[in-house]
Structure formats: C-alpha cells, structure tokens
Amino acid sequence: MKILGFMGSPRTRGLCSQFTESVLKGAASAGAEVKQFNLVKYKITYCRGCYKCVYGNHELSIGKCPLRDDMAGILKEYLEADGYIMACPVYDFTVTSVMKAFIERRFPMFYKTKGAIGIPDARVKQNFKKKALLLATGSAREEFADMAEPCFEVMSGHFMVEEVEVIERLYVGFIHNFDEQRYAEKIQQTFALGVRLVEEIAKAQDT
C-alpha cells in the first residue's frame, strides 16, 4: 500500500508540513509506503485551459499535457497510489496558489468528447477502493473552522469524480499561538489519522 501526501504550503518546515509528515508517519507505522510532495519544490506550470489532455488519447489512463514540467511524473505516482493526503494552509479563504496550480494540472486524469455536454469524467474510476483525507491550517481559531470549507471543497472536487472517498477533513487553527501541549496533541491526532487512513483503505480493498 502506498500513500502520498501533497502539501501546498510555501513553507516546507511550517506546521502544515509537520502535520502532513505526522499523518504519513502514522500511515507508515501501519505498514504503508509513504511519500510527501512539498509542491512548492516542484516545477508546476499553471494550466493554459487548452483541453488537449482531456479531448485526446481517451485510451490512456493519463491524458497528454503539452506543458513540460514535473506534473507527468507526479500524476503517474498519483495513479499508482492507494491513498492521499491533501494539506494546505488557508490563504485568503481558499487554497494557496501552489496547491491550486497542482489541482488544475490534474486535468489529464479526466476525459471528455469535444462538444459533449457536462463535466469531464475520470479516466480511471477508483470505485471507492482508494481513500483520502484533507488537512487545512489557519490563523483563525478552530471554532471558526467553517472558513476552511472553501479549501476542503477545492481539494476534494476531483475525488468525487474519481470515486475516492474522503474519510476526514481536519482544520487546525490558531497556528500562530501553539504551545508544546497543543502541538503534541495535534501531532498525536494527525498520527492517528494516518493509521486510520491505512485501515480504511485495507477494509475497502478487502471487499
């Protein structure tokens, strides 16, 4: 079993990254192979909206994008994985530009006949055998967790079409005011989520 963490903060050693690592450590402790993508370190060009990846090569599991950067390799690993973590701080009530660029460039995972009505469909349906969890961090207190909903909606939109179940949406707030006790509690919570992610994937794959 392989689980990938996609971390959209420009701060690769910040709390969002540390909590992503904690989830992955929990997953690894339960036997999964894990890898974290700090997206800011990859070359991800913004989508041009040309639709070439969606309209062509419908026989392929990943469409061909004319842009040349790191996304083709990332999408290959994405398709081969069993579970996902999408993690991002809240920037101006939504995801960071780094995360948004990554999400837009997942478009080759979908296909559509030119002129057809409706949204593109997933090239590979996962039949809910794969699972995901979402993590958002922000400066607002956790009683204002609703402010993270736009982030969660953006990060999970493709999963709905791909038939990947999101098992948890965790908002960690008040990140500029952490003490040692609260930090330890959140590390324990995120570690446990990683273990749970592996368990949920294993159950789905056994059915």
Domain that holds residue 134: 6-138+150-185
* Residue 193 counted as domain residue: no
Domain assignment of residue 110, yes or no: yes
Residues ≥6 apart with Cβ < 8 Å to 102? 6, 8, 39, 44, 71, 74
pLDDT of res. 144: 76
- pTM, whole model, 2 decimals? 0.95
Q: How far apart are CA 110 and CA 76, in angstroms?
A: 14
Number of folded domains that form the chain = 1
E strand or H helix at 206: helix 180-206
Report if residue 190 sits inside a domain. no
pLDDT string in tens for the chain (207-residue length): 999 999 999 999 999 999 999 999 999 999 999 999 999 999 999 999 999 999 999 999 999 999 999 999 999 999 999 999 999 999 988 999 999 999 999 999 999 999 899 999 999 999 999 999 999 999 888 877 787 899 999 999 999 999 999 999 999 998 888 899 999 999 999 999 999 999 999 999 998
Q: What is the pLDDT of residue 53?
A: 96
* Maximum C-alpha span of the chain: 56
Q: For residue 32, is it within any domain?
A: yes
Give me the pLDDT at residue 92, please. Answer: 87
Q: Which residues contact 138 (CB under 8 A, 6 or more apart)?
A: 89, 90, 147, 148, 171, 172, 173, 175
Give the separation between CA 42 and CA 29, rounded to whole angstroms. Answer: 27
> Looking at the domain assignment, is residue 198 inside a domain?
no
Whats the size of the chain, residue-wise? 207
> What CATH number is given to the structural domain containing 110?
3.40.50.360
For residue 160, the model assigns a pLDDT of 94
